[in-house]
């Protein structure tokens, strides 16, 4: 179990370091083996790592030659097959999460159709400033979202938003009723007001703090 968080400013400024730190610290229990940070323009991301594959060189963020960076939670099961499909690619690590980076540069968002596994991915391309967020088709790994007057944020757990003071924890009655009846919630709603989640198999493109695709 790993954890990822991210904060994108709506006005193009660099997100405050203390906010991303508080978000990361709130989910530190998900990744006892280290923390990796990414800061580029209006975006800051962090990953708390539980090392399973590539213990030595698999620290995140991961980068590809074009500058794109990735943080992820989960595991890509068919990463060996994906590596073999790109024999001309110089991989920098043995991480299961590096092949998606190179596939993104080759195929765009279509690369998601080739992934087999349980994952949430945050991939930033500094060339156009866009952030891709994606969740595995079965929704095994969670990714929560919120938007305030100043920021768009994502995290593996809602507590990261509360810890950073982005919003106060407030129960949303409709999803709570669904949870009490079904023992889980469906769709993008959550038990917390102002917090949504990426649906299973969903992918979003975020630019300047706004969902554009």
* pLDDT, one tens digit for every residue, the chain (213 residues): 689 999 999 999 999 999 999 999 999 999 877 899 999 999 999 999 765 554 555 588 999 998 999 999 999 999 999 999 999 999 999 999 999 999 999 999 999 999 999 999 999 999 999 999 999 999 999 999 999 999 999 999 999 999 999 999 998 877 677 777 776 667 888 989 999 999 999 999 999 999 997
Name the CATH topology of 3-211.
3.60.20
For residue 189, the SS3 value is: strand
Which run of H or of E encompasses 96? none
| Beta carbons of 138 and 200 less than 8 angstroms apart | yes
Tokens 């038990």 locate to 191
Rounded to whole angstroms, the Cα distance separating 97 from 204 reads 19
pTM of the model: 0.92
Q: Which residues are catalytic?
A: 2
């Amino acid at each position: 179990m790993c954890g990822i968080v991210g904060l994108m400013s709506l006005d193009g400024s660099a997100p405050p370091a203390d906010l991303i730190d508080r978000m990361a610290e709130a989910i530190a229990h998900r990744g006892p083996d280290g923390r990796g940070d990414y800061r580029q323009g209006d975006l800051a991301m962090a990953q708390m790592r539980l090392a399973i594959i590539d213990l030595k060189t698999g620290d995140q963020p991961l980068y590809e030659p074009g500058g794109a960076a990735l943080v992820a939670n989960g595991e890509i099961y068919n990463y060996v097959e994906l590596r073999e499909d790109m024999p001309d690619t110089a991989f920098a690590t043995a991480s299961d999460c590096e092949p998606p980076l190179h596939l993104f540069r080759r195929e765009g968002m279509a690369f998601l159709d080739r992934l087999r596994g349980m994952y949430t991915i945050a991939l930033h391309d500094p060339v156009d400033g866009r952030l891709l967020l994606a969740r595995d088709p079965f929704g095994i790994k969670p990714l929560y979202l919120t938007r305030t007057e100043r920021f768009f944020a994502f995290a593996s757990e809602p507590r990261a938003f509360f810890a950073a003071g982005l919003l106060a924890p407030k129960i949303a009655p409709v999803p709570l009723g669904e949870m009490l009846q079904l023992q889980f919630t469906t769709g993008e709603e959550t038990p917390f007001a102002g917090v949504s989640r990426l649906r299973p198999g969903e992918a979003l493109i975020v630019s300047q703090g706004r969902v554009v695709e």
